[in-house]
Structure 1
């Protein structure tokens, strides 16, 4: 059994990003810029945004966080996004989800300039991703793919089972796996006999947000298990969706929680922001 160490890989990627930023500043006089919109006072969202801001600072990326009350109107958020779209110093814009009920998430995400959509949620980027064209990829699935690549895990012809069909993880994860020529099943809360599907998986990716959803008897010998879930127990301990202790000895590779997929999400967001800055430079130089 080999641990897929997302923390170590994310540190490596962040160092690569730092070098890229220094080169952009030195050669093109460009500092990549990222704006984050945080609505409300959700503690988990605030913590995550703080981690993003810290990672940007360490990499030399200019970042700004726009904190807004949960009573803000949809039109007010759209006005702010319009100004961000026009701001030449901002290469990336992301909206921390979830949003309050009076705000339509789809309307907000569609308002972001696709060239600044470093979260990869705009329909333009989603469509290009599904078509296997160059696009900004959602950071978490992007991080999973990068992790599997780092460990030289061949995806061609593998049976992949994804538990969870969200727009943020499950659906884009399936598209990326299909593009990599894997055979993909996507399960959800309505799936009948989940175990029958997971036992057929060479690679099992779990993103359901449910503690111990996957247990040892649901994993076939030698499977690769990627746990995207993150749940906080009453004790304060962070755990994933997979019973790590029960499953690890059956796996050829497995991600821990914490220290697996989570750190990769932020690392790939930084990669997307630098990519956006390079594309801006290309447009301005023409």
Structure 2
């Protein structure tokens, strides 16, 4: 897979304050903004570890002599900042709406095994958020991490190696529980379902692994994309042959 960056989603930079001072009669301009933490592809991350805001505060000063000075602070360190509490109670309505309308939210589920503990933890965190979080979020990514789970281990553990046995598996039931909860996102503008697979995977194994995207076809969004990646690559849209294969499995 190519390593081309994702359009404008790769980073967020929202200017919220500028100040001017003078040095030797030349202005010094300081700009403050929020940018994503290095390596993050969303502004809000919901995983088994909790709900966090994946941004830092950048301070950029241009001196009167043209020198650029940058530094970062960490106002959203989860040790001191509870995003759930901010969204549910503390942020003013307009501030909260602006945050959610402009942010990409990523729900991340890592499957190291099939027992579902990871899914259950994510569902527990989602249950803590009030209804306005779901109605005011506009941009959503759902990342299903299968990099630690080979297709052969899925087949061995769940007993499915084709679409019909997959439909009857407990594994599918867990994914449907997550998809059911995500139906609460009622006004999405963008939805990306990302399937992360192992770096070394055969074509036949890949057909098995992309089954996990099926439950999320129920989520309503005009700009829905199914993407595929490995741990070392940027997510790309599912190729035509895999997309055609997947859509044929959807029952009316």
TM-score of the superposed pair, with normalisation by structure 1 = 0.28
User: Whose strand fraction is larger, Structure 1's or Structure 2's?
Assistant: 2
Structure with greater contact order relative to length (CA < 8 Å, sep ≥ 6): 1
User: Whose helix fraction is larger, Structure 1's or Structure 2's?
Assistant: 1
Bigger Cα Rg = 2
